[in-house]
Chain A
Amino acid sequence: MLGDQNELNVVQSKFSSNELVVAVHTNALLLEQEGWVDNRRILALVKHEFSFALFVILSVNIPPVSFSDLTIERIIPLDECFLCDTEPIPQDYQNIIFNIYYKTLILPFKVEISTESSNFASEVITAKEVKPVEYKDCIFAWLDKYKDLDKIVMDLNEKLGDFPLTRQKNGQGQGISGNRESFLKYQLTLKEPEFTHQQEFTIFIGTWNVNGQPPTALRKWLSCDEEPPDIYAVGFQELDLRKEAFLWNETTREEEWQKAVMEAVHPNAKYRCVALVRLVGIQLVVLINSKHYQHVKNVAIDTVGTGILGKMGNKGGVSVRFELHNTSLCFVNSHLAAHVEEYERRNQDYHDINLRTNFRRHPLAIRDHDQVYWLGDLNYRITDLTTDQVKYYLSKSNLEPVLLADQLNQQRILCRVLQDYQEGDITFIPTYKYDLNSDIFDTSEKARAPAWTDRILWRGKGIYQSAYRSHMEMRISDHKPVSALFKSQISVIDQAKYRKVHEEVLKRMDKLENEFLPQVTIDSTEVTFELVKFREAQYKDIIIANTGQVLAEFEFIRKPNDTSYCKEWLRITPYIGCIKPGEKCDIRFEVNLEQPLEELYDILVLHLSGGKDMFITVSGKCQRSCFTTSISTLCRAPIPLLNLNPDQLQHAETQQSPVLYSVPRELWLLVDHLYRYGLKTKELFELNALNEDIVRIRDWLDWGSLDPISVPIHAVAEALLLFLSYTKDPIIPYHLHDACIAASSNYQSCKQIIVQKLPDLERNVFLYLCMFLQELLKHSNENGSDVKTLATLFGDILLRDPVRNSRPQANRGKASFLYHFLVNDQSCLLIVPNNK
């Protein structure tokens, strides 16, 4: 007990005399710590007058020798938000988990079962029990001073008692000792081989487009190998083809297929789920043999819809990333654009998924992982050979000429897609398209050419593929499942060696105290864009070079009054990163203009952890476009936007100038085009277009060319959606949205809003569109349109949210609001324009 008393005294010396350290627990292990950082903590229960707080403290020494060893990492007030409990660890009779909960925060500590820990836990529980009459904010005012004293500790910079989940830095000088940490990290990375070794894991990857069918037994596919794999990554596409799944991302199939997978995994091992992720019909589940589960860290998922406007998520990719021991893994299941000739759209989808997949707190892109496994229905077909030729070669078991005609192989050779990935030799016949419940290639009228649509590729070091095959006996779908087996080298940390290296590095650092500040140079502090146009992304690169002697950790940080580190028209990749001494890093600034701005200007703060900040000025002039202009201006402009001189433009922008068109000319052109050429087109608003076609339509409208435009009809349809999505203000003003949704069950109330509340021009646009959609629906037996889909899509756009979100999550209220106007005749509501 004397030893404890000593520790208590040391910890007490960190606090002032009116803050009494009631109990301490040394050597609690904070679980789920990232990487191999020291996770030992001291917990101290501290009392001030009538209130208690729990301090989580880092110490250079365990047990601590002097108060200068101690750094306060977190403070958790024991108020009504505080909870704690203990939980046993299976098969571990020496340790127990002590969980601390505070609002959304969970801190699990592993502690040894001892008198120390049980005393400590009971002190905390008692302290929590002693409730003051009520929790007033002021009784915790004594904690305020810690907020700034230890500037270095980010968490303390936040408002106490309200620990936000994201670390928000702003342009004030941060702590300086960051460079110590960077140096430590860097030295440890350098010495990684000294404390890690490679261990082989088997990974089973499966992919199957199930054509919306209900689950079947999967054992023949998932358990076809003798030995149980360590990891499963199983991807499905077209899990559910029903409208509900498509529109609302809701399905019961997720659970059903998940169950089918769990029932079919190898019987000789026990598996636990690492993550399950789904976007409409694209689902990915990653399982791991339970014995390895404790070595899985930092699991994160993301989904990217590549359907039209990124909303209709029937195509796209879903990903799971995590670290296993010291190796980072990423699994991507993608379903790329369909149709034989559309390989460029498939390439575009692939790049979109790469670009937009973002694992939030891990500033990692897919390609930044040590190992990536890419699977899915990639949809590449066989061109240059007729169906008969393909079938002939297949009947002779001669795959070679067919593989040469495979679009994926061709596009990969051209470096257009999956260029730095590897694929094993294909020795199985095409997996698409089969008559259901058979092994016979499509005998329907269309008699599609067979294709290897379903593929598995990988990139990264230490990966060896030992099998790549299809599973003919699985017959419920028009695709056959494919699987691959990998033997992959995972780097495993040897704790004892790690500790030794860690200590050596620390010793060296003590000698170098203060000498190392991170230093970088950037090749330009001015980023100037050429004329920036709507939907025409532009990028500029700058180079950061580490000219110092320590690892340079950089991050773009938020200025105090801003909400983000850059404006919404800019994307910075990477916005955070690490550069080794002597190395460089390219930073890409990408503008994508979606607002009606005349020019772009912002000063960005690039912060070096433990060092200086640099300012980067971003600027550029913008070109106007009808897509981001207000309806009012468009209806008042006498000629196309880019032909207006500044005076005419200014005039058109005032409310006083006369209305010349009852709906914008540009809108009329788009709708007219669709009306003439699109009424019989299938999936009119469901396929996304090539961006270059959208750009051509933009120029056609903005310059007011008299020539008819020749672009695919789907591009015009997407342009219409874009037009309505980006107008300066939504067609139905934000302040009416709640009223619209509230009224959505009753046509008369909906009508009243449109008639009485909507400004004249917006009403015209609204009704004009509804009439067009009704026209489209009249031809539904030719174009396959249905009122539910259109109401959902356009409801979401006409009542668009203030913040653009790319998740496929439509609002039923908005859909039902619009629904009324698609099924009722409202020609009577239309106000006949007075001059046109």
Chain B
Amino acid sequence: MSTGQYNYSYIFKYIIIGDMGVGKSCLLHQFTEKKFMADCPHTIGVEFGTRIIEVAGQKIKLQIWDTAGQERFRAVTRSYYRGAAGALMVYDITRRSTYNHLSSWLTDTRTLTNPSTVIFLIGNKCDLEAQRDVTYEEAKQFADENGLMFVEASAKTGQNVEEAFLETARKIYQSIQDGRLDLNAAESGVQHKPSQPGRNTLNNDQQQNRYNKDNCAC
């Protein structure tokens, strides 16, 4: 067996959040497959995608969780924030309501992740300039006030999509280098080298098994 079965040195966990229909799934798809999905169904659950990228010569595996945006699932999706190293918070530049809800998404992120989690704000659908409902400037100001990174992007044309995902990774990597992100801390969202999946461990039955055997009159 070869030892080099893993060709990357870190795993970063990302979550993508934001109102329904803002283009979260399309952004993930564009990033992992480099394709645009014109009619993408609502996400009923949490989709999962992965891609290996390179930052400063290091291979990093991104594990990306794309959450359902529908309000009725909000209580459940909150449990996926834990342990995220990066959070991509998305709104739709053509729908102001999705922008107005950002503060509530931000509150969730801040309370449910740890302080070193990198939060990246994405104004999606920037290809639809004619229908723009939120200006770049006001969003930029919101980002600055809250210490978020920010770009406008389009999952359709692919504009700025790579940048958003990679910039987030760079920022996380930097935190590791600076020692601001404690790798050993629980919930850092970063793993130093992947580990093997848990094999079968001693469980209930095996004990029950012993119990039965021992209890037998023979």
| Chain A residues with a Cβ under 8 A of chain B | 16, 30, 32-35, 37-38, 58, 60-61, 65-69, 71-74, 104-107, 144-145, 147-155, 165-167, 170-173, 175-178, 180-181, 255, 258-259, 262, 271-276, 287, 297-301, 322, 359-362, 503, 506-507, 509-510, 513-514, 517, 525, 559-560, 603, 605-606, 610-615, 617
Is there an interface contact between B3 and A65, defined as CB atoms closer than 8 Å?
A: yes
Docked pose: A107 CA to B193 CA in angstroms? 27
Q: Chain B residues near A560 (CB, 8 Å)?
A: 79
Docked pose: A360 CA to B208 CA in angstroms? 11
B24 interface hit (Cβ, 8 Å): no
Q: Mark B28-69, 1 if CB is under 8 A from A, else 0.
A: 000000000000000011111110100000000101010010
Q: Would you give the shortest CB distance from B104 to chain A, in whole angstroms?
A: 20
Is there an interface contact between B3 and A255, defined as CB atoms closer than 8 Å?
A: no
Given the interface contacts A60-B1, A68-B6, does A361 sit within 8 Å of B205 by beta carbon?
A: yes
Q: Would you give the shortest CB distance from B54 to chain A, in whole angstroms?
A: 14
Is there an interface contact between B45 and A276, defined as CB atoms closer than 8 Å?
A: no
Is there an interface contact between B198 and A603, defined as CB atoms closer than 8 Å?
A: no
Docked pose: A72 CA to B206 CA in angstroms? 21
Q: Mark B76-90, 1 if CB is under 8 A from A, else 0.
A: 100110110000000
Docked pose: A262 CA to B217 CA in angstroms? 9
Is there an interface contact between B198 and A73, defined as CB atoms closer than 8 Å?
A: yes
Interface residues on B, range: 35 or more
Is there an interface contact between B80 and A273, defined as CB atoms closer than 8 Å?
A: no
Q: Chain A residues near B206 (CB, 8 Å)?
A: 32, 34, 106, 298
Q: Enumerate B173-204 residues with CB–CB distance to A below 8 Å.
A: 183-188, 191-204
Name the residue on A nearest B182 (C-beta): A145
Docked pose: A778 CA to B199 CA in angstroms? 64
B207 interface hit (Cβ, 8 Å): yes
A16 partner, pick from B184, B188, B217, beta carbons under 8 A: B184
Name the residue on B nearest A617 (C-beta): B72
A148 partner, pick from B6, B75, B187, B194, beta carbons under 8 A: B187
Name the residue on A nearest B51 (C-beta): A514
Is there an interface contact between B13 and A37, defined as CB atoms closer than 8 Å?
A: no
B1 partner, pick from A58, A61, A153, A170, beta carbons under 8 A: A61
Q: Would you give the shortest CB distance from B157 to chain A, in whole angstroms?
A: 26
Q: Would you give the shortest CB distance from B172 to chain A, in whole angstroms?
A: 16
New contact pairs (15) apart from A148-B188, A171-B76, A301-B212, CB-CB < 8 Å? A37-B200, A58-B196, A61-B3, A68-B6, A72-B195, A145-B185, A152-B194, A152-B196, A175-B197, A262-B217, A298-B206, A300-B205, A360-B204, A513-B7, A612-B45
Is there an interface contact between B201 and A507, defined as CB atoms closer than 8 Å?
A: no
Q: Chain A residues near B79 (CB, 8 Å)?
A: 170-172, 559-560
Is there an interface contact between A73 and B201, defined as CB atoms closer than 8 Å?
A: yes
Given the interface contacts A61-B1, A173-B65, A614-B44, does A255 sit within 8 Å of B212 by beta carbon?
A: no
In the assembled complex, 7 residue pairs joining A and B whose CB atoms fall closer than 8 Å, in A order, are A58-B199, A73-B201, A148-B187, A152-B194, A153-B197, A273-B213, A301-B208
Q: Chain A residues near B215 (CB, 8 Å)?
A: 276
A149 partner, pick from B65, B186, B209, beta carbons under 8 A: B186
Docked pose: A617 CA to B49 CA in angstroms? 24
Q: Chain A residues near B199 (CB, 8 Å)?
A: 33, 37-38, 58, 73, 181
Name the residue on A nearest B184 (C-beta): A145
A165 partner, pick from B44, B63, B193, B207, beta carbons under 8 A: B207
Q: Would you give the shortest CB distance from B217 to chain A, in whole angstroms?
A: 5
B217 partner, pick from A148, A276, A514, A613, beta carbons under 8 A: A276
Is there an interface contact between A173 and B202, defined as CB atoms closer than 8 Å?
A: no
Is there an interface contact between A615 and B45, defined as CB atoms closer than 8 Å?
A: yes
Q: Would you give the shortest CB distance from A765 to chain B, in whole angstroms?
A: 40
Q: Chain A residues near B75 (CB, 8 Å)?
A: 603
A615 partner, pick from B50, B76, B192, beta carbons under 8 A: B76
Docked pose: A30 CA to B201 CA in angstroms? 9
Name the residue on A nearest B84 (C-beta): A173
Docked pose: A814 CA to B210 CA in angstroms? 34
Q: Which of B68, B186, B188, B198 has the most CB of A within 10 A?
A: B198
B111 interface hit (Cβ, 8 Å): no
Is there an interface contact between B48 and A152, defined as CB atoms closer than 8 Å?
A: no
Name the residue on B nearest A293 (C-beta): B213
B46 partner, pick from A37, A67, A613, beta carbons under 8 A: A613
Q: Chain B residues near A32 (CB, 8 Å)?
A: 202, 206, 209-210
Is there an interface contact between A299 and B212, defined as CB atoms closer than 8 Å?
A: yes
Docked pose: A297 CA to B207 CA in angstroms? 11
- Rank and list the top 5 A-B pairs by shortest CB-CB distance, nearest first: A273-B216, A148-B186, A614-B45, A71-B196, A171-B79
A178 partner, pick from B49, B197, B217, beta carbons under 8 A: B197
Given the interface contacts A154-B198, A298-B209, does A613 sit within 8 Å of B6 by beta carbon?
A: no
Q: Chain B residues near A177 (CB, 8 Å)?
A: 194-197
Q: Mark B84-121, 1 if CB is under 8 A from A, else 0.
A: 00000000000000000000000000000000000000
A612 partner, pick from B48, B203, B209, beta carbons under 8 A: B48
Given the interface contacts A106-B207, A271-B218, does A605 sit within 8 Å of B200 by beta carbon?
A: no
Is there an interface contact between B3 and A615, defined as CB atoms closer than 8 Å?
A: no
Q: Mark B1-31, 1 if CB is under 8 A from A, else 0.
A: 1110111000101000000000000000000
Q: Would you give the shortest CB distance from A174 to chain B, in whole angstroms?
A: 10
B73 interface hit (Cβ, 8 Å): yes
Q: Would you give the shortest CB distance from A729 to chain B, in whole angstroms?
A: 29
Docked pose: A273 CA to B213 CA in angstroms? 7
Is there an interface contact between B186 and A145, defined as CB atoms closer than 8 Å?
A: yes
Is there an interface contact between A300 and B6, defined as CB atoms closer than 8 Å?
A: no
Is there an interface contact between B73 and A603, defined as CB atoms closer than 8 Å?
A: yes
Is there an interface contact between A107 and B1, defined as CB atoms closer than 8 Å?
A: no
Q: Which of A147, A176, A506 has the most CB of B within 10 A?
A: A176
Docked pose: A171 CA to B67 CA in angstroms? 12
Q: Chain B residues near A180 (CB, 8 Å)?
A: 196-197
Is there an interface contact between A255 and B217, defined as CB atoms closer than 8 Å?
A: yes
Name the residue on B nearest A285 (C-beta): B216
A30 partner, pick from B3, B76, B202, beta carbons under 8 A: B202
Name the residue on A nearest B203 (C-beta): A361
Docked pose: A593 CA to B55 CA in angstroms? 55
Q: Chain A residues near B46 (CB, 8 Å)?
A: 173, 612-613
Name the residue on A nearest B79 (C-beta): A171
Is there an interface contact between B76 and A173, defined as CB atoms closer than 8 Å?
A: no
Q: Chain B residues near A503 (CB, 8 Å)?
A: 1
Docked pose: A611 CA to B46 CA in angstroms? 9
Q: Chain A residues near B80 (CB, 8 Å)?
A: 171-173, 613
Is there an interface contact between A167 and B195, defined as CB atoms closer than 8 Å?
A: no
Docked pose: A176 CA to B189 CA in angstroms? 13
Docked pose: A340 CA to B102 CA in angstroms? 71
Name the residue on A nearest B201 (C-beta): A155
Name the residue on A nearest B200 (C-beta): A34
Q: Chain A residues near B212 (CB, 8 Å)?
A: 273-276, 299, 301
